[in-house]
Amino acid sequence: MTRASHVARRAREITPFAVMDILERAREIESRGSGVVHLEIGEPDFVTPAPIRRAGIAAIRRGMTHYTHSLGLLELRRAIHGHMEHEHGVTVPPERIMVTEGSSSALLMTLAALVEPGGEVIAPDPCYPCYHNFVEFLGGKTVRVRTHERDGFALDPDSVARRITRRTAAILINSPANPTGMILDAGTMRAIARLGPPVVSDEIYHGLVYEGAAHSLLEFSRRGFVVNGFSKRFAMTGWRLGYVIAPQPYVRPLQRMQQNFTISPNSFSQWGGVAALREALPHAERMRRQFARRRRAMLDALENAGLPVACAPKGAYYVFVNMRRHGRDSRRMAHELLERARVAVTPGVEFGPGGEGFIRLSYANSVENIIEGIRRIARHFSSLAGGKP
Ranges of the chain with pLDDT below 50: 1, 388-389
**Residues whose CB falls within 8 Å of the CB of residue 256, separated by 6 or more in sequence, listed in order:** none
Q: What is the CATH number of domain 3-47+282-383?
A: 3.90.1150.10
DSSP state for residue 288 in the 8-state scheme: H
Q: Kindly state the percentage of the chain with pLDDT values over 70.
A: 98
At 386 the pLDDT is 65
Q: Which residues of 205-241 are buried (b: 16+ CB within 10 A; e: fewer)?
A: bbbbbbeeebbbbbebbeebbbbbbbbbbbbbbebbb
Q: Note whether 268 and 65 are within 8 A (CB).
A: yes
Helices within 115-244 (DSSP H only):
129-137, 157-163, 186-193
**Residues whose CB falls within 8 Å of the CB of residue 61, separated by 6 or more in sequence, listed in order:** none
Query: Are 3-47+282-383 and 63-280 in the same CATH fold?
Result: no
Order of strands, edge to edge, in the sheet holding 242-245?
97-100, 242-245, 225-229, 199-202, 168-174, 120-125, 141-146
CATH topology of domain 63-280: Aspartate Aminotransferase; domain 2 (3.40.640)
Q: What would you report as the CA-atom Rg of the chain, rounded to the nearest whole angstrom?
A: 21
At 16 the pLDDT is 84
pTM of the predicted structure, to 2 decimals: 0.94
At 389 the pLDDT is 43
Nearest to 370 by CA among 182, 334, 378, 47: 378
CA–CA separation, 179 and 329 (whole Å): 17
CA–CA separation, 372 and 380 (whole Å): 12
DSSP string covering 176-202, please? SPTTT-----HHHHHHHHTSSS-EEEE
pLDDT in tens, 2-37: 566 789 988 988 888 888 899 999 999 999 999 999
What are the φ/ψ torsions at residue 125 (nearest 5 degrees)? -130, 115
Q: Note whether 312 and 91 are within 8 A (CB).
A: no
Torsion from C-alpha of 320, 367, 285, 184, nearest 10 degrees: -10
At 5 the pLDDT is 78
At 290 the pLDDT is 98
Rounded (10°) angle between helices 367-384 and 281-304: 20
At 17 the pLDDT is 83
pLDDT in tens, 75-84: 999 999 999 9
Q: Where are the domains of the chain?
A: 3-47+282-383, 63-280
CB count, 10 Å around CB of 191? 18
At 376 the pLDDT is 97
